[in-house]
Structure 1
């Protein structure tokens, strides 16, 4: 297929796909309720829609996205801000609580927002009944840890990963019961394996890459990826430079991101890989420096300007990923699976 025909094919596949980003970070910033910034006079929502995005899992609350007390009140405050925003932009946004609503978002040309959290433990503060309440308020994805240890288990940067705690096991059981998707992104590998093996429903690693290709503690080992796939789960490949750069260093490109997709597909099959960009266009100089002071290894010398793979810096760049997948020989059906169909299947099997 010549280059022009390849571009046309990629464009048609991208337009037809239900594109789901399982770590789109947010359309609103916590606490301040400010929208992500415009770029070249276009809002983040408009650019997301122009990029073909159908739905994104957001970080509701403070953990992993802002500074301050990461508790239930901060989470509820963020939920309130989103509800107001939904009403202000009802023609462009829709809250997602069911798979049918993702299909509605695609059909109506609106951006679907899935409520998720990073580091659920401090939000529930030892009270599992809050999971049911939060699910009723629309929470659909709950990441167990951030980079460090909490009441549920261990994050990936803990030197001694002691695995899922007893409280963590109880949380898995309750989330299975109510239909809240367990997310093990940022989890330590023993904690992730424990959760995968303990869960009765498939789980997600919303944003991480393959450690076998880029040896970083935030990436998942082959053992974890195999276990995840065996139980029907999906891993969302991220565009975050430290997690997709080639061995030897340098800023990664779209091709390096597709390398991780291909690696995971070869390892466990095409049905278990999707997208979890971790794109955060509102990254400030202050927050980036503060985050680096806490978790320096997660930045590995990249600047705010280079911390995403070249060619995938912003949400409207998503078509370039589809173009690279087509160029690399992925079939149309497999591209649609990567872009969103695998996540749709996972959501359908877990959400109630």
Structure 2
């Protein structure tokens, strides 16, 4: 028993195989992933720069958007560089500690912090639509700061136990992981011991974090729709709903692929493994790429500020500015 317990803490090197069954296409697959990653880094960085430098954008919804951009940058930067190293250089080996670290930041930024921020944005829209007179007094800078701290603490509290749940397991030489990045259950399945604690912890935290967030977001939008349909004119209803359009797009881009991947991973055993892995790879790069683009296109203040950066000599607002640039 002593030898078994001690072996679980021996230095381990995992081997990430990439997308199983598609090894010959890795170089071609890497091209769109690299372009999407560069787009995600550039667009989120521009968004953060615009919001941080323009005091007129220091409003609750824009500050929540900045938090979302930070989370997206963390998610894509944690996973995509290693993915590209596998595709380009066959750099498949990763140490146990590096794998645990990647797992921590992937789940921390994606499934917990980003989900918490989307919930905060839903609360922002609820107050703005259903109780607009109290909006300035409810969403004060101190409240927004507390929400940010709560999202980070929530992520740390949920993601610290899996580190010890994985470190306690013996791996007995099983080190080949059919994936491009490390995730909790992918590591646990390599252990030569009972992993029911890992399974139940992962399922419980998924339901009580992202699952609970989805329920609360749905409840907030049910109340928003009830308030909208009480408005007297169709024009007022459409104008009010348009303020929630960007947030709804981001919610759908985040939760639909997440729950599809979660459900197919557990119940879709007839789906080939390379489809699971490809979907997981798209999930860590497509939403970070599209989120700032959606908000940049649909939010007038952000769109105009970005255009000022691209064309500083034009007069704003200016419908014909592109010709003058």
TM-score (structure 2 length as normaliser): 0.26
TM-score (structure 1 length as normaliser): 0.24
Larger radius of gyration: 2
Higher strand proportion? 1
Higher helix proportion? 2
